[in-house]
Structure 1
Amino acid sequence: MSPSLQEIGLAVKRLQWRHHREANRRLSAHAGLSLVQWDVLRHLHEQPDATLHTLAELTFQTDQSMGTLAKRMIDRGLLKRADGPGRATRHSLTEDGQRAYEAGSVVLEGVLAESVGALTDAERVVLHELLLKAAQAGSSPRG
């Protein structure tokens, strides 16, 4: 018998919760970061000079909470801020931020290796494709 949609949703949530809990624990111990902070560093590594609004969207936060987090990360020397065109404020990694991103990446790879890393390459490809497909289906308008 096939699992119900609720059982599948719960399995996805349990895996996500496991990743978040373990990543937060290890990032704190080994890199002095939270998962949300590392995620900001990751996105700035991939998109240097991203705006605060873009970072908020990428990290699933409100603009206000991202602004508060960015200020704390600037105060810690992980980010720097520069004025952009118009009222936009751009952010980028400092050298310390880049080092923290790299240290956190090693931690995250370890966390993920213990779960999805146990799958074969072919299984990971299928899982990735299915997750993208499900996410896309849920975001497209019905009509």
Structure 2
Amino acid sequence: MDTVTFHVPGKPQGKARSKTFHNNGVTRTVTPDRTVLYENLIKDRFLYAAGGFYLERGKPVSLRIVARFLPPNSASKKRKADMLEGRELPLKKPDMDNIVKVVADALNGVAYHDDTQIVFVSAKKCYSAVEGLDVTVEEYRER
């Protein structure tokens, strides 16, 4: 198997900023619990779909991400239809770079040796009737 595609259910989340604390000369950095839980969900969904897939050190990685959001309840029927058909895109948080970061960090050491192996990323946000992330991890091949 040279490609793994999986779905992460729920509202897409971005990587939250870690917090740094200084106390009596000791510096501690803590990743927010919400981010840790979301990264673990991504790992679990990958491992369930992977069937032993792993890209060793030195192999280039391609990452494709589609972040799917539900249209807001306050939108009119016409506007919801436009959203679901792709005529209106979600210009809202989380930022796409933070979505990519949370996925790349979650799969670090699980799908590939290190996220420095990622050489190609394709990512988009859209509205959908089912929210979540659709992620594809594969060895990068020049097309």
TM-score w.r.t. length of structure 2: 0.26
- Larger RCO, structures 1/2 (Cα 8 Å, 6+ apart): 2
- Normalized per residue, which structure has more helix? 1
Query: So what's the TM-score if we normalise by structure 1?
Result: 0.26
Structure showing the higher strand proportion among its residues: 2
